[in-house]
Amino acid sequence: MQCIRKQASRSKSEELLHQAQSKKVASLNSKLLGMEDDPDLQFLLSGTELTKVRSGSWKKTRFYKLQEDCKTMWHESKKTLRSRQTFSVDDIEAVRSGRKTEGLKKYTDETQELRAFSILFKGRRKNLDLVASSEEEAKHWVSGLEKIISNVSNLCQQLKTEHWIFNCLRNADINCDNKMSPEELKSFLHDINIDVEDNYVKMLFEKCDKANSGYLEGEEIKLFYEILTQREEIDVIYGEYAKTDGLLSATNLLEFLVKEQREQVDLAYAVQLIEKYEVDKTAKAKQMMTKDGFLMYLRQPKGLIMNPAHKSVYQDMKQPLNHYFISSSHNTYLMEDQLKGPSSTEAYIRALMKSCRCVELDIYDGSDGEPVIYHGYTLTSKILFKDAISAIKEYAFKTSEYPVILSLENHCSVEQQKLMAHHLTSILGSALLTKPLGESMPSEFPSPEDLKGRILIKGKRLNKLEASFYDQSAEEEEESVTEEEDCCDEEEEREKPQEPKKLKLAKELSDIVIYCKSVGFHGFEHARNSQAFYEMSSFKEGDAMKLAEKSANECIRHNVDKLSRVYPSPFRTDSSNFDPMPLWNAGCQIVALNFQTPGRDMDLNQGLFRQNGLCGYVLKPAYLRDRGSEFDPITLTRGPWLKQKDFHVMVISAQQLPKVSQKAYSIVDPLVRVEIHGVPADIAQKETRHIQNNGFNPMWNENFQFDLYVPDLALVRFVVEDYDSVSNNDFIGQCTVPFTSLQNGYRHVRLFNKSGDLLSSAALFVHLMAADAE
């Protein structure tokens, strides 16, 4: 979160005073970030000129400098209305040294490799491609920014709040006298998303102005900070259990953990928490926890909504590949819509870094003999196939070590297919799976564990996989065979051919399709009798939704043995998404969504795959892996899937919600909606009232109750919106968590923005209780 109020102009003397104090402020912030006297940080605080690269002809020199909050980057601009521009470290997705982006590869030469670097932003903001004057300067920039990003993200919530408020106070002190007037106090409150009456400002000011001087300074500002950050709800909870001279003893803390948090722990564990989170050395020595230590615990991972054990890989990863839900992307190459949006290798990188394990490549003949990727018959831009494969090679396993599937929509001539096969084998090397695992013909899929670090190709194959074990001469006879395109292929859908399209397939490309051979779907009976386990079908969303609604149990049984892929309708020209829940309920593994398009459906995808160590694979419940399963998410007959729960949610408060509008005096009116997504019987949502003019510390204290029938498949989504009486509410933040990953008790809920990136400080505070229904 940033203080976004536009800085008022200062007089010359005020500006000199401001500059004189900046070094002191920067020193305090660098210490808070654990980077005191860091040479890279000092370099960034001094700033340098960098060449900004946009095209072959647009290369401009601009001055860049880290501001004294050690978190905001300032750079000059030649635009009349934007002579000064800033962006926050919180907005940065990654910093890459060298000519790694498409822009730097295209518009700079190899001699600039060691001086070039890129700043990549979250969301849809364009990359910032830069060239330093020397290799040493480039290293300072890359190393400094990476350290700041790392240190900021690792700050505990308490220190993040202190850092943010300290710099908002600094921003509000317009005349740089280290004092706060009533006017500056009110401006500061607007900065942190609170709109208050003048009488309240006057009351708060008089309460802190102990010296009756007409302004606040020193200890008075500290008192103001303590009043501002007081958590009334924490006071109540702490007071109920702090039964030992007004403090929490280890025994008191254990009582809280067992009774409220429903944790099965012992006294030694409570002592460990005090040792780890208590901030007062005297209290810690007596094995006591103060209110500050208690709040520190509640804001650490152990106190958050999601079970910490589920943040690492905790599921059995040795089941067959088709027994998992697999995080999957559609039209992965697109950054925006599928009519005229840009294609980019960066889109593959972003999807893979978000643990996507199945990416799509639509490949066509390139005019210069090199295959290209784009959305056929549209105005989307093109990228080289080999560049996409190189990006996939570099980033496939940075977030997850489990296998990646490349879904090929092949529209190339035989000659360019041969070149595709060459690029795949030469670039991916040993990572590419080119033959079945083991010495004999398999009867089922290998597991994600077996396939760690491997890349699989999904596409057409000229013959059966069994041919891999036949005499080589027998394969040669099949080389000229043609094969029908997948009857559900989306490109066919768009072209609407009168007759099934024939595709001449290059043997070199066919041979590297191993476990994911694309075939048409001709009914469940045909699939049972004629389809090998490694032959998989793709379904457009409409067909898949009908099957999931009318033949859900047959879908489930089909997906016990085989893989299914579902993709959005070709008519979604805006690259919007569909609800993935009905398809997961029916056991479909590869539900491909447009990762470039934020919204509820992508939130659900991110929520499902946030568990299990963000590895991109989630083991399906046992009844979705059983060939004889009677489970039907529509009818819900009796069975092991029915584990009815009473789920109680109390939405208590929120902290540091971001502003929706960048206007200085815009304040949010937040409300919270709790949604349940799962089988039809579990779908529900309930909403709090809205709180007027308070995004800093709104409080609701509202209780909701939900009945869940199939908790294994349920996702819980918390949505915060800015209420508007005359138009649609504006989105502020959300968090989606699998029901089975929730922790009971008092929990903080970290919020994510529209693009699925974590908001630096914003959180909800809730109380959850799930119990077996009577």
Domain harbouring 566, CATH code:
3.20.20.190
pLDDT tens-digit profile of 386-428? 999 999 999 999 999 999 999 999 999 999 999 999 999 999 9
Position 475 confidence tier, pLDDT thresholds 50, 70, 90: very low
Catalytic option among 140, 163, 323, 375: 375
Q: Is residue 539 part of a domain?
A: yes
Question: pTM (2 decimals)?
Answer: 0.88
Residue 20 has pLDDT above 90, yes or no: no
Same domain membership, residue 290 and residue 341: no
Position 443 confidence tier, pLDDT thresholds 50, 70, 90: very high
pLDDT tens-digit profile of 168-201? 777 777 666 778 888 888 888 877 777 767 777 8
Collapsing DSSP to helix, strand or coil, 402 comes out as coil
Catalytic option among 330, 558, 677, 767: 330
The yes-or-no answer on residue 330 being catalytic is yes
Same domain membership, residue 407 and residue 379: yes
- Give percent above pLDDT 90 in the chain: 67
Q: CA distances (Å), 409 to each of 364, 379, 537, 571, in order?
A: 9, 18, 13, 17
The CA distance from 115 to 138, in Å, is 5
Q: Is residue 750 part of a domain?
A: yes
Supply φ then ψ for residue 530, to 5 degrees: -125, -15
Q: What is the DSSP letter of 180?
A: B
pLDDT tens-digit profile of 542-590? 999 999 999 999 999 999 999 999 999 988 988 999 999 999 999 999 9
Question: Could you give the number of structural domains in the chain?
Answer: 4
Residue 4 has pLDDT above 70, yes or no: no
The CA distance from 254 to 542, in Å, is 52
Position 119 confidence tier, pLDDT thresholds 50, 70, 90: very high
List the beta bridge partners of residue 13: none
Q: Which CATH number do you get for residue 74? A: 2.30.29.30
Same domain membership, residue 618 and residue 659: no
Same domain membership, residue 149 and residue 57: yes
Q: Which two tokens stand for residue 368?
A: 């210069």
Mean pLDDT of 657-678: 87
Binding residues for Ca(2+): 331, 360, 362, 409, 667, 669, 693, 722-724
Q: Which two tokens stand for residue 341?
A: 């949006």
Residue 541 has pLDDT above 70, yes or no: yes
58, with CB counted inside 10 A (0-12, 13-18, 19+), is: exposed
Binding residues for substrate: 52-79, 458, 460, 538, 565
Binding residues: 52-79, 331, 360, 362, 409, 458, 460, 538, 565, 667, 669, 693, 722-724
Same domain membership, residue 756 and residue 709: yes
Q: Is residue 146 part of a domain?
A: yes
The yes-or-no answer on residue 375 being catalytic is yes
Mean pLDDT of 203-214: 88
Same domain membership, residue 359 and residue 236: no
Computed over every residue of the chain, the mean pLDDT equals 89
The pLDDT of residue 79 is 63
Residues counted in the chain: 774
Q: Which CATH number do you get for residue 757? A: 2.60.40.150
Is residue 703 within 8 A of residue 710, CB to CB? The reply is no
Residue 481 has pLDDT above 60, yes or no: no
Domain of residue 272, residue span:
232-303
Q: Is residue 180 part of a domain?
A: no
List the beta bridge partners of residue 736: 717
b/e code 465-476 from CB counts within 10 Å (16+ = b)? bebeeeeeeebe
Domain boundary residue, one of 154, 189, 217: 154
Task: Please say whether the dihedral angle defined by the alpha carbons of residues 494, 496, 497 and 502, taken in this order, is positive or negative.
Answer: positive
Position 675 confidence tier, pLDDT thresholds 50, 70, 90: very high
The pLDDT of residue 671 is 98
Same domain membership, residue 580 and residue 455: yes
Same domain membership, residue 656 and residue 588: no
Q: Is residue 169 part of a domain?
A: no
The CA distance from 116 to 98, in Å, is 5
Q: List CB contacts of 749: < 8 A, sequence separation 6 or more.
A: 304, 305, 718, 735, 763, 764, 765, 766
pLDDT tens-digit profile of 713-727? 999 999 999 999 888
Q: Is residue 491 part of a domain?
A: no
Is residue 384 within 8 A of residue 344, CB to CB? The reply is no
Task: Write down the residue that tokens 């991109």 correspond to.
Answer: 616
Domain boundary residue, one of 303, 331, 347: 303
Residue 495 has pLDDT above 60, yes or no: no
Is residue 734 within 8 A of residue 751, CB to CB? The reply is yes
Is residue 689 within 8 A of residue 700, CB to CB? The reply is yes
Q: List CB contacts of 279: < 8 A, sequence separation 6 or more.
A: 290, 292, 293, 296
Q: Report how far apart the first and last C-alpha atoms of the chain are (Å, whole number).
A: 44
Q: Is residue 686 part of a domain?
A: yes
Residue 476 has pLDDT above 60, yes or no: no
Please give the residue that has the higher pLDDT: either 765 or 33.
765
List the beta bridge partners of residue 653: 699, 765
The pLDDT of residue 491 is 45
Position 479 confidence tier, pLDDT thresholds 50, 70, 90: very low
Same domain membership, residue 585 and residue 539: yes
Is residue 687 within 8 A of residue 673, CB to CB? The reply is yes
The pLDDT of residue 519 is 95
Same domain membership, residue 524 and residue 399: yes
Supply φ then ψ for residue 581, to 5 degrees: -55, -50
Same domain membership, residue 766 and residue 651: yes
Q: Which of 76-85, 222-231, 492-501 has the lowest mean pLDDT?
A: 492-501
Is residue 104 within 8 A of residue 118, CB to CB? The reply is yes
Q: Which CATH number do you get for residue 236? A: 1.10.238.10
Collapsing DSSP to helix, strand or coil, 349 comes out as helix
Q: Is residue 718 part of a domain?
A: yes
694, with CB counted inside 10 A (0-12, 13-18, 19+), is: buried
Domain boundary residue, one of 624, 657, 692: 624
Mean pLDDT of 604-616: 97
The CA distance from 592 to 750, in Å, is 26
Same domain membership, residue 659 and residue 615: no
